[in-house]
Amino acid sequence: MLAPDVVFRPDATAARYGIGAMRGATDVAAAFKGRAQAAEMAIVDGELGFVVHIDGQIRVAVTLTIDEKRIVAIDAVADPDQLERLDFSILRD
């Protein structure tokens, strides 16, 4: 599902949660392993992604860039001012 050269690009606030910018499917997959429990799939500013809840509030919004059925980029926003400007809707079953 991840492209071999996938990139993860967090904003400065998101990077403080412990995952910095990186490239490569192996590294990105390892960095996210076990971290998805608070995530919910969502449409974020018209793009497929997810939001992460911490202490009952959305703290991180993530968008996925997909090309030829593979995730080629993951962008994370956690800056409170940026989060307020994002439009998102949670995808439910």
**Which tens digits make up the pLDDT trace of 43-85?**
999 999 999 988 888 999 999 999 999 999 999 999 999 999 9
Res 87 pLDDT > 90: yes
Res 18 pLDDT > 90: no
- Burial zone of 17 (CB within 10 Å; 0-12 exposed, 13-18 middle, 19+ buried): middle
H-helix or E-strand spanning residue 85:
helix 80-85
Q: Give the chain's radius of gyration (CA, Å).
A: 13
Question: What is the number of structural domains in the chain?
Answer: 1
Q: What is the CATH number of the domain that holds 54?
A: 3.10.450
Residue 53: what pLDDT? 84
Domain that holds residue 12: 2-90
Band of residue 90 on the pLDDT scale cut at 50, 70, 90: very high
Q: What one-letter code names the amino acid at 71?
A: I
